[in-house]
Chains A and B, each alone.
Chain A
């Protein structure tokens, strides 16, 4: 038995598992997206482009655009909120660094549904936030948060910000502090130093964080379902509907394929960088 063969056997079970239960099923989704619904409401394979025509129907295009918009807003908010936090922990956390990181990870291990549900309770018309606003005289009557884009995006930020902070932390921690000193001498102002030194030096973390937040945010349906309404539904809600309530699996598959094609660009970008060691791997 050659040495190479020996080690390849270790790859075999996991490789086959992922191929059979991940790659092959993905191909089935692609195949079914060209199919149609038979008289009994079951999806059958075939070759028609009707489902794709439907995807780009004016009824659904706004949903697709909305999903991308919400996900982008989520990424930007996560970056703006996450960068200072990651920076603080990496540079000023001192011996509490790991404790601070651990505390950051804890909310992430609380069930996503329960966390989102907590926001529903907090933000509803009679919720604690509105009670507080009215009691403090900051608002005459309850403000409607639920069913607004803000609530849905807020839910997404809350759900995925950890995927931004961890890679950011990694790249900031790895940065050599002496380059900041050098930058200070070179550029003078703190802002320019940050722009020309710190930001480029932590680029790998920023890019990884943005992709790692964007990908799950685009496909999310929990936040829009619980914190939003029909006006804030995202492509995930639409897909989920096709597989349950509407029961149009071929159309749901076509929606999934379109979403995946769009996301594949970002996935390939991320994977290429990760393979060259230029992006943080969570």
Chain B
């Protein structure tokens, strides 16, 4: 083996350095969220001061609640719509299905700012006041595509035999979907839902363009906090948000295992083939 990259020592060190680069900023945020002083340079002592600041700030608590509400609504609706879309795209062999298989990728590769502006324009055109609902509508649009990709990946590995058998035994088409197909897709559906929860909870750009004056979601609030200057409360908020979204993603990875499948959750999420 004499490929240039086959020098595990060099590769290992390089990879290690990249992981350091990826994790140092995050560790800094976490460590300084427990600083007893306002400094972001020197760790003076340990305290929960910034966390209690956060929990005692009614606007920030409102924002936290708003963010969770948005993420839950986005998760529920986009999971239902996205799963149906995935099933349709894989099972229907029509031209519509073929075209949509590709078209539904477009929202994912379009820069978020474009989606944000488009949403802002349609809401103002229709005279809809910006609120938590406009954010949810905007979030669902891109979330549908995520759910569809994850569920479609799982569907591709499932044949139609069991459904056919169910129909031979007298089930209607709809029953075979509801009683046979959907249950076998549960791991992917739950994983996709949790992934979308995390993405929606963390989203800034779309929320920024579609938020109203009241009850802005946390990332939008963080944006104005950062612009008004550095505040250690941001570290505390950032750390808490990290805990929420990483828990959701960790669950998404673990869920397929909880369903008693031996395949990795990473595989389900990325739709990786064997």
Mark A residues whose CB is within 8 Å of B.
3-4, 6-15, 17-18, 21-22, 24-26, 28-29, 32, 81, 84-85, 87-89, 91-92, 98, 101-107, 109-115, 117-122, 126-128, 131, 158, 161, 166, 170, 180, 184, 189-191, 193-194, 198, 211-212, 215-216, 218-222, 225-226, 236, 239-240, 243, 249, 252-253, 256, 259-260, 263, 267, 270-271, 274-275, 281-282
Instruction: Select which of B110, B204, B209 is within 8 A of A112 by beta carbon.
Output: B204
Chain B residues numbered 175-214 whose CB sits less than 8 Å from any CB in chain A: 198, 202, 204-205, 209
Is B111 on the interface with A (CB-CB < 8 A)?
Answer: yes
Q: Which residues of B contact A222 (CB under 8 A)?
A: 204-205
Q: Contact check, B113 vs A221: say whether CB atoms are below 8 A apart.
A: yes
Stretch at the interface among B50-58, B68-76, B239-247: B239-247
A98 to B263 alpha-carbon distance, docked (Å): 11
Q: Contact check, A212 vs B113: say whether CB atoms are below 8 A apart.
A: no
A190 to B23 alpha-carbon distance, docked (Å): 32
- Give a binary string over B237-255; 1 marks a CB under 8 Å from any A CB, 0 the rest: 1100110011001000100
Instruction: Quote the shortest CB–CB distance from A221 to chain B (angstroms).
Output: 6
Instruction: Select which of A9, A107, A249, A274 is within 8 A of B88 by beta carbon.
Output: A9
Instruction: Select which of B97, B148, B173, B238 is within 8 A of A111 by beta carbon.
Output: B238
- For the A-B complex with A4-B92, A22-B118, A91-B5 known, give 10 more contacts whose Cβ atoms are closer than 8 Å: A11-B92, A14-B82, A85-B15, A92-B8, A109-B242, A110-B238, A111-B202, A219-B113, A256-B114, A271-B102
Q: Which residues of A contact B223 (CB under 8 A)?
A: 113
- Give a binary string over B218-246; 1 marks a CB under 8 Å from any A CB, 0 the rest: 01001100110010001001100110011
Q: Contact check, A109 vs B106: say whether CB atoms are below 8 A apart.
A: no
Q: Which residues of B contact A21 (CB under 8 A)?
A: 119, 122, 137-138, 140-141
Q: Which residues of A contact B171 (CB under 8 A)?
A: none
A184 to B21 alpha-carbon distance, docked (Å): 33
Q: Contact check, A25 vs B93: say whether CB atoms are below 8 A apart.
A: no
Q: Which residues of B contact A26 (CB under 8 A)?
A: 114, 118
A253 to B121 alpha-carbon distance, docked (Å): 10
Q: Which residues of A contact B271 (CB under 8 A)?
A: 281
Q: Contact check, A275 vs B101: say whether CB atoms are below 8 A apart.
A: yes
Q: Contact check, B219 vs A17: say whether CB atoms are below 8 A apart.
A: no
Instruction: Quote the shortest CB–CB distance from A30 to chain B (angstroms).
Output: 10
Instruction: Select which of A7, A14, A114 is within 8 A of B242 by beta carbon.
Output: A114
Instruction: Quote the shortest CB–CB distance from B96 to chain A (angstroms).
Output: 6
Q: Contact check, B121 vs A98: say whether CB atoms are below 8 A apart.
A: no
Q: Contact check, B106 vs A219: say whether CB atoms are below 8 A apart.
A: no
Q: Contact check, B5 vs A198: say whether CB atoms are below 8 A apart.
A: yes
Q: Which residues of B contact A24 (CB under 8 A)?
A: 122
Instruction: Quote the shortest CB–CB distance from B237 to chain A (angstroms).
Output: 8
Chain B contact residue count (CB 8 A cutoff):
94
Best-buried of A109, A161, A225 by chain B (most CB within 10 Å): A109
- Give a binary string over B94-130; 1 marks a CB under 8 Å from any A CB, 0 the rest: 1011001111111111111111011111100100000
Q: Which residues of B contact A221 (CB under 8 A)?
A: 113
Is B215 on the interface with A (CB-CB < 8 A)?
Answer: no
The 5 lowest CB-CB distance pairs between A and B, nearest first, are: A219-B111, A10-B88, A14-B85, A7-B92, A25-B118
Q: Contact check, B3 vs A121: say whether CB atoms are below 8 A apart.
A: no
Closest residue of chain B to A87, judged by CB? B5
Instruction: Quote the shortest CB–CB distance from B256 to chain A (angstroms).
Output: 12
Q: Which residues of B contact A271 (CB under 8 A)?
A: 102, 105-106, 109
Q: Contact check, B242 vs A110: say whether CB atoms are below 8 A apart.
A: yes
A260 to B106 alpha-carbon distance, docked (Å): 12
Is B165 on the interface with A (CB-CB < 8 A)?
Answer: no
A164 to B205 alpha-carbon distance, docked (Å): 21
Q: Which residues of B contact A274 (CB under 8 A)?
A: 102, 105
Is B60 on the interface with A (CB-CB < 8 A)?
Answer: no
- Would you give 9 A-B contacts (Cβ < 8 Å), ordered by A? A17-B140, A18-B107, A21-B137, A85-B18, A92-B12, A109-B246, A110-B202, A111-B242, A271-B106
Is B258 on the interface with A (CB-CB < 8 A)?
Answer: no
Instruction: Quote the shortest CB–CB distance from B162 to chain A (angstroms).
Output: 17
Q: Which residues of A contact B102 (CB under 8 A)?
A: 271, 274-275
Q: Contact check, B121 vs A128: say whether CB atoms are below 8 A apart.
A: no
